[in-house]
Amino acid sequence: MLIPHGRHAEGGGVQEDPRLACMREEWFAGRHLLDIGCNEGLITLALATRFGCTSATGVDIDRQLVGKAASVTKWVHLNWGDDGITRLFARCWTELQPGGFLVLEPQPWRSYKAAVAKQRGGPEAGSWDLAALHLRPEGFVTLLQQ
């Protein structure tokens, strides 16, 4: 089976990416995921979230694409809501080694608004509802400290 490659965020919603349909949970559940050529890390994150990977590491030669992964909390929050961001943080807490650090740069709320405005009419636009999000990025530190 041939699977299209090089599909970036602009190419369509990650949840509909045909590569995900070819993956099996038993390949990933409870395992460490290494995605070489991860681009922005969207598929990496989708695999880790969908199949319960123990950890996920993405590597790519294009620093600009990997740099876009800095907005991963925003992406999780927009796609999976407050529950998704809470689960992400809980997973980070579970995976963090004693004495380890979580370095987090929450994206400002205005960047959420900009992302939604940019997606209007796009494949993910219907699922992004800012009114449904009660947690705000400026409250993430407090959430993590609870």
Residues 6+ apart with CB under 8 A from 11: none
Q: Which of 93, 89, 80 is nearest to 124 (CA)?
A: 80
Q: Catalogue all structural domains in the chain, each as residue range(s) with its CATH number.
A: 24-144 (3.40.50.150)
Q: What is the mean pLDDT of each run of 10 residues along the chain (146 residues)?
A: 40 64 88 80 85 81 65 81 89 75 78 82 65 94 86
Element (H, E) at 140: helix 140-145
Residue 31 is classified by DSSP as: S
pTM, 2 dp:
0.55
Residues 6+ positions from 63 with CB-CB distance below 8 Å? none
Residue 107: predicted pLDDT: 82
pLDDT at position 69, please? 58
**Is residue 112 left, alpha or beta, with left meaning phi > 0 and alpha meaning psi from -120 to 50?**
alpha
pLDDT of the residue at 2: 33
Region of residue 81 (left: phi > 0; alpha: psi -120 to 50; beta: else): left
For position 145, what pLDDT does the model report?
84
Among the listed residues 126, 29, 146, 132, the one whose alpha carbon sits nearest the alpha carbon of residue 77: 132
pLDDT given for residue 75 in this prediction = 79
Position 110 scores a pLDDT of 92
